[in-house]
Amino acid sequence: MELQQIGMGHPAVKHVLSIQNNTAPNRFKLLVAEGLWENNVVLDTGLDVDTFFWCPELIHSDEARKRSEELAERAGRPYRVSEKTLLRMAERGNPDGIISLARMPEWHPDEITLGPSALVLVTDGIEIPGNLGTLIRTLDACRADLLIMTNRRTRMSHPKVVRGSQGMSVRVPHLEFTETGAAIAWLKDRGFTVYLADTDESVNYRRADYRGRTAFVVGSERYGVSKPWYEHGFDRLGVPMLGYADSLNVSVSASILLYEARAQKARW
């Protein structure tokens, strides 16, 4: 491929670094896809590719060469960079010679279609990007239908969310509500049974009935579920703590709840 060669001082490279380091606003909601796996997700999902960076010296497979051509053709701005420049841009050790900037997909509340036994997770104030990424990866693994975010503290395009989700942050539908009350009303209007993940005054998660539409609400790592969720009489669910510790990591507890609900819905 004959692509324009650029270096570290080029604005496109600096843009990637600002997203990777989370040092500037990301108003166009672009994510950085590194290597063959993440770029396969970009291509297979049909995302718009804003910028493509190609280093032929670091490409070591026929698949990576083929995907490079597809990415260059799809990108609004395709560039060639040196090995040193690409490695400076990458967070992972082996980026397979390819990095792209792609636009995150967007979903809108009125466009979401849900079945009679839909499974939804609400993240209320989750702060750690790696936890959010792990939660999204779990949602994909147990075939959940939707992620809802309230009191959002980390953006979906954060590099650690993309890495932690294994790229599933672009495949799992997600909605963000700026007002918690709007999210609650949306769930109620669609007939969801809502459960709050909370060990205080809770029932054992194995005893709940997950038939029909089910939504779990998990709270922030420091403060738990926010107050507005407790004002609607939603039941609380807890995972028994049999040792000295009094709680689990939020991504672990959410995984337990989601898989238990999926097991009941699928009659495992």
Mean pLDDT (whole number) for 183-202: 94
For residue range 152-174, what is the model confidence (pLDDT) as tens digits?
988 888 888 988 998 899 999 99
* Domains, in order of start, for the chain: 4-103 (3.30.1330.30), 109-266 (3.40.1280.10)
- Tell me, rounded to whole angstroms, the distance of Cα 266 from its chain centroid: 24
d(CA 217, CA 75): 38
Given this model, what pLDDT does residue 36 score? 92
CB 160 within 8 A of CB 137: no
3-class DSSP state for residue 243? coil
* Rg, the chain, Cα only: 21
Residue 86 has pLDDT above 80, yes or no: yes
d(CA 117, CA 211): 6
For residue range 3-53, what is the model confidence (pLDDT) as tens digits?
999 999 999 999 999 998 888 778 888 999 999 999 999 999 999 999 999
User: Rounded mean pLDDT of the chain?
Assistant: 93
Mean pLDDT (whole number) for 102-109: 94
Given this model, what pLDDT does residue 27 score? 83
Residue 93 has pLDDT above 80, yes or no: no
Burial of 61 (0-12, 13-18, 19+ CB in 10 A): exposed
Given this model, what pLDDT does residue 2 score? 92
Structure pTM? Answer: 0.89
Given this model, what pLDDT does residue 248 score? 83
Q: Is the dihedral of CA 139, 145, 151, 156 positive or negative?
A: positive
